[in-house]
Structure 1
């Protein structure tokens, strides 16, 4: 049974020096008493995980992925994840916050969110592994005059290379149509505003375009309306809180910007086909 919490745990990712950057290398074998459902958490930064050895089954926002070495995965700060199983694992991980990320890379990361595990060729794995080793060496030189700058630059180089691998497997940003560019801009403002801004007209106003044109762009690109995407983002967060916390439906509704929790309950049922409590009970075991 899942471990109950008052909210979704946030892993500060070993940032004990307050630099906004942390990097670590870990090795562990399969543990017979390991209970993956107790490990659900978010990170408070962007994280990149290089699986150097072994296999991991991981669940990210209710999607399960099996990672086999060598592979890499990027996780956005908002994503809730848990390790389900692992075997003979060696993994190197980088955590870096928005302040330390190159703004260009931060923008590109939005284009590949959410990201799936990415299998690596031998050459690519070697480059990423060497980059992480260099970052680790810089992280140990805390007495250097330019310690933080050296660490930040080396970590951003690593991020750039990982991002480039993801972009190689997706459509080039410079080939996006006008509809796709507008849709991406909508998604970028949806993330920080979905709990307070619920109407398509308000998003269109933020983007300085008409509501019909915003709907046309989003529907042409995704097949779904702006309202659909707003609702899906709200319901995803609701599912996270229902599954990973003990907050009541009323408390979750308020957290997501609904003073009328009955309205929120009807919305959840409409979108998912089941009540919020049914979803929670279904996922208890």
Structure 2
């Protein structure tokens, strides 16, 4: 039997859409979690210390003050850290601004750690500290929405930093990377009307077999996964931010059969759309 890389789901350990951890003077040499993927984003702000991290089979060394993000689907695990201090943020993709997602998922070819100068370090610490303080009181009235908003600002600062320090024109795009980026861009703009992997392959003028090979090789998941992920992500947004019924949301997302949509959501998320709304809007 083949080993399967586990996928960790944020909803299994948090009902608020986010998780924040402050680590101080940590000294570890191995990750208890092992290599895994996540269905959510991870953002790490190391204020000081040293750490090493495996991301999609590449070892990253973080020395001093730096930030790093991990996108959904990337294989990763902590190798070890010495006297590392900083903040860990895990957050549901639905709470990440689409403009920021575009930066992380389409513009950045390789997400490596970015070092912060003293000026940026102060700004990042101020912002993440506000988010963390509010997260610790997330069950209080309005605190959840405030924590989400502060986390958005923090994530926006990280996206801005990656944009400012990445020279896209100088990077050598391979054909598979270009195809994956084109697919993700096409998907984000047409998932309500185009739901068949074959249709995306046709629009990109390549075979479905090749498209699946490229996308799975680059992200770890096939084309169908990312189609369903985008649909469910938008459904989560509508459940969280609007008062549309589940049936109305299914029609909004291009489904003529709302029962099929409900089954898809439950299978993908692990809970029904109604249960998801009840938990996240509690």
TM-score, normalised with respect to structure 1? 0.61
Q: Which residues of 2 match residues 29-44 of structure 1 at below 5 A?
A: 29-31=26-28, 34-36=29-31, 39-44=34-39
State yes or no: 1:26 paired with 2:23. Answer: yes
The 3 A distance-change label for structure 1 pair 186 and 151 is same
The 3 A distance-change label for structure 1 pair 114 and 172 is closer
Cα separation, 2, equivalents of 1:18 and 1:168: 34
Cα separation, 1, equivalents of 2:82 and 2:214: 34
Cα separation, 1, equivalents of 2:48 and 2:153: 23
Partner of 1:136: 132
Per-residue Cα deviation, 1:156-181 (whole angstroms, up to 9, x for no partner): 000000100000012479xxxxx999
Partner of 1:78: 73
Q: Structure 2 regions of 5+ residues with no counterpart?
A: 170-174, 226-282
Cα separation, 2, equivalents of 1:37 and 1:139: 25
SS at match of 1:151: helix
The 3 A distance-change label for structure 1 pair 144 and 117 is same
State the superposition RMSD in angstroms. 3.8
SS at match of 1:99: helix
SS at match of 1:56: strand
Contact 1:39-1:82 at 8 Å conserved across structures:
yes
Cα separation, 1, equivalents of 2:136 and 2:95: 18
TM-score, normalised with respect to structure 2? 0.61
The 3 A distance-change label for structure 1 pair 165 and 171 is same
Partner of 1:151: 147
Q: Structure 1 regions of 5+ residues with no counterpart?
A: 174-178, 216-224, 241-254, 256-285
Partner of 2:53: 58
Contact 1:15-1:22 at 8 Å conserved across structures:
no
State yes or no: 1:10 paired with 2:7. Answer: yes
Shift of 1:104: 2.0
1:96 to 69, 73, 91: 91
1:161 to 138, 157, 161: 157
Higher RCO (CA-CA < 8 Å; seq separation 6+): 1
Equivalent residue pairs, number: 209
1:45 to 40, 48, 67: 40
1:231 to 187, 192, 213: 213
SS at match of 2:94: coil
Cα separation, 2, equivalents of 1:141 and 1:151: 9
1:105 to 100, 107, 122: 100
Partner of 1:258: none
Contact 2:138-2:147 at 8 Å conserved across structures:
no
Contact 2:10-2:92 at 8 Å conserved across structures:
no
Partner of 2:114: 118
SS at match of 1:39: coil
